Chains A and B, each alone.
Chain A
Amino acid sequence: MDEWYRIDNTGKIFHAVSDTTNSSVFRVAMILKEQVDPECLQSALDIVAVRFPTLTVRVRKGLFWDFMEHNDEQLLVKQEVDYPCAPIDRKENNAYLIRVLYYEQRISVEIFHSLTDGGGAMEFLKTLVYQYLRLKEHDVTADDKVLRPEDSPKREETEDSFERYATSHSVRRPEKRGEKAYQIEGKTLDPPGIHVVHGVVDASALNRHAKSLGTSLTGLLTSVLIDVVHEEKIGQGSPEGNVVIALPISLRRAFPSETLRNFFSVANIGVPMDGYMQFDDIIGTVTEQLVEKTDKARLQQGINRFVSLQSSLFIRATPVFLKYPIMRFGFNQIGERAKTMTLSNLGNLALPESMKPHVERMEIILYPTRKSPINCGVGTLNDQLTVTFARSIEESTIIRSFFRRLRQMTGLEVMVYSNRWGEER
Chain B
Amino acid sequence: MNRCPECDVMTVHRRCPLCQTELSEAQAAIRWYPDYDRKQQRIRARISRLAIFIGILAVLVCFFINLIVLPQFLWVFYVAVAVFYALVSLSHTILSASHIGGKITAQVISLTIVLLVIDAMSGAVQWSVDYVVPALIIAGILVITIIMVTVRLKWTGYVSFLLMMIGLGFVPAVLYLTGLATVLWPSLVAALYAVATFALMLVFANQAFMTQLGRRFHL
Listed in ascending order, the chain A residues whose CB lies under 8 Å from chain B are 2, 4, 6, 60-65, 67, 69, 72, 79-83, 89-92, 103-104, 106, 190-193, 197-199, 313, 316-317, 396, 399-400, 403-404, 407-408, 413-421, 423, 425
Neighbour of A197 across the interface among B17, B34, B41, B159, CB < 8 A:
B17
Contact check, A67 vs B218: say whether CB atoms are below 8 A apart.
Answer: yes
Closest partner residue, chain B, to A79 (CB atom): B34
Q: Please tell me which stretch of B5-13, B67-75, B86-94, B183-191 contacts chain A, meaning at least 4 of its Cβ atoms lie within 8 angstroms of it.
A: B5-13
Tell whether, in the assembled complex, residue B216 and residue A408 are in contact, meaning their CB atoms are under 8 Å apart: no
- Whether the pair A103, B216 counts as a contact (CB closer than 8 A) is no
A89 CB to nearest chain B CB (Å): 5
- Complex contact A60–B219 (CB within 8 A): no
B28-59 interface bits toward A, Cβ cutoff 8 Å, 1 = contact, 0 = none: 00111111101001101100000000000000
8 example contacts (A-B, Cβ-Cβ < 8 A) are as follows A62-B160, A63-B216, A103-B34, A416-B10, A418-B17, A419-B33, A420-B13, A420-B33
Least CB separation from B37: chain A residue: A81
If over half of A's interface residues share one DSSP class (helix, strand or loop), that class is named, otherwise mixed; here it is: loop
Q: Say whether B19 contacts A400, CB under 8 Å.
A: yes
Question: A352 vs B163: C-alpha distance in the bound complex, in angstroms?
Answer: 50
Instruction: Kindly identify which residue among A64, A199, A413 contacts B218, using a CB–CB cutoff of 8 Å.
Output: A64
Cβ distance B10 to chain A, nearest Cβ, rounded Å: 5
Contact yes or no, A80 B215, CB < 8 A: no
Query: CB-CB < 8 A to A72: which residues of B?
Result: 153
Of the candidates A62, A82, A191, the one whose C-beta lies within 8 Å of that of B42 is: A191
Judging by beta carbons under 8 Å apart, are B219 and A191 in contact? no
**Contact A64 B217, beta carbon cutoff 8 Å:** yes
User: B120 near A: Cβ within 8 Å?
Assistant: no
CB neighbours (8 Å) of B60 from chain A are none
Q: How far is the CA of A248 from the CA of B6 in the complex (A)?
A: 33
**B20: Cβ under 8 A from any A Cβ:** yes
Q: Is the CB of A103 within 8 A of B19?
A: no
Interface positions of B (Cβ within 8 A of A) = 1, 7-13, 16-20, 30-36, 38, 41-42, 44-45, 97-98, 153, 156-157, 159-160, 163, 211, 215-219
- Find A421's partner among B11, B36, B163, B215 (CB 8 Å cutoff): B36
**Is B8 a contact of A404 with CB atoms below 8 Å?**
yes
In chain B, what residue has the closest Cβ to A104? Answer: B31
Bound CA span A415–B17, Å = 10
CB pair A403–B216 under 8 Å, yes or no, is no
Determine if B38 and A60 form an interchain contact, defined as CB atoms under 8 angstroms apart: no
Contact yes or no, B8 A191, CB < 8 A: no
Give CA–CA (A419, B31) in the complex, Å: 9
Which residues of chain A have C-beta atoms less than 8 A from B9's C-beta?
A: 199, 403-404, 407, 414-416
Task: Name the one of A69, A399, A415, A417 contacting B156, with C-beta atoms under 8 angstroms.
Answer: A69
Residues of A within 8 A of B215 (CB): 4, 60, 62, 67, 69
CB distance from B41 to the nearest CB of A (A): 4
Contact A415:B11 (CB < 8 A) given known A80-B34, A103-B34, A421-B36: yes
Are A317 and B17 in contact, with the CB atoms below 8 A? no
Q: Whole-angstrom distance between the alpha carbons of A413 and B19 in the complex?
A: 17
* CB of B219 to closest CB in A, whole Å: 4
Chain B, Cβ-Cβ closest to A192: B45
Which residues of A are found within 8 Å of B13, using beta-carbon distances?
Answer: 417-418, 420
Given the known inter-chain contacts A60-B216, A67-B218, please indicate yes or no for A190 contacting B7, CB distance below 8 A.
Answer: no
| Contact between B8 and A60, CB atoms less than 8 A apart | no
Select B18's contact among A64, A65, A313, A396, beta carbons within 8 Å.
A396
Q: Which residues of A contact B35 (CB under 8 A)?
A: 425
- Please indicate the chain A residues that have their CB under 8 angstroms from the CB of B19 in the complex: 400
Q: A63-B217, A414-B10, A415-B1 are in contact. Are A420 and B42 (CB under 8 A)?
A: no
> Are A400 and B219 within 8 A (Cβ)?
no
A417 engages B32 (CB within 8 Å): yes
Interchain CB contact under 8 A, B45 and A92: no
A60 to B34, CA, bound (A): 33
Select from chain B the residue with minimum beta-carbon distance to A80: B34
Contact B218 A62 (CB under 8 A): yes
Bound together, the chains give a CA A5 to CA B33 distance in angstroms of 35
| Contacts A420-B17, A423-B20 given; does A89 touch B1 at CB 8 Å | no
Smallest CB–CB gap between B171 and chain A, Å?
Answer: 16
For residue A421, which residues in chain B have a CB less than 8 angstroms away from its CB? Answer: 36
Task: Considering the complex, give the chain A residue whose CB is closest to the CB of B12.
Answer: A417
Q: Using known A-B contacts A404-B18, A415-B1, A423-B20, determine if residue A61 contacts B160 with beta carbons closer than 8 Å.
A: yes
Given contacts A193-B41, A404-B9, A414-B9, 11 further A-B contacts (CB under 8 A): A81-B34, A81-B36, A92-B97, A190-B42, A313-B219, A403-B18, A414-B10, A415-B1, A417-B13, A418-B17, A418-B33
Bound form: Cα–Cα A199–B18 in Å: 10
Residues of A near B153 (CB, < 8 A) are 72
Bound-state CA distance A292–B22 (Å) is 46
For the complex, give the distance between the alpha carbons of A404 and B18 in Å: 9
Name the distance in Å between B192's Cβ and chain A's nearest Cβ.
Answer: 23
The residues of A that contact B157 with a CB separation of less than 8 Å are 60
When C-beta atoms are compared, the residue in chain B nearest to A103 turns out to be B34
**Chain A residues in 8 Å Cβ range of B156:** 60, 69
Which residues of A sit under 8 angstroms from B12, Cβ to Cβ?
A: 415, 417
Given the complex of chains A and B, what is the CA–CA distance between A92 and B30 in angstroms?
A: 29
> Measured between alpha carbons, how far is A417 from B159 in the docked complex, in Å?
47
Contact A407 B216 (CB under 8 A): no
- Closest chain B residue, CB of each to CB of A188: B45
Is A415 a contact partner of B160 (Cβ separation < 8 A)?
Answer: no
Residues of B within 8 Å of A4, CB to CB, are 215
Q: Which residue of B lies closest to A91 (CB)?
A: B97
CB distance from B205 to the nearest CB of A (A): 13
Q: Which residues of B contact A419 (CB under 8 A)?
A: 32-33, 36
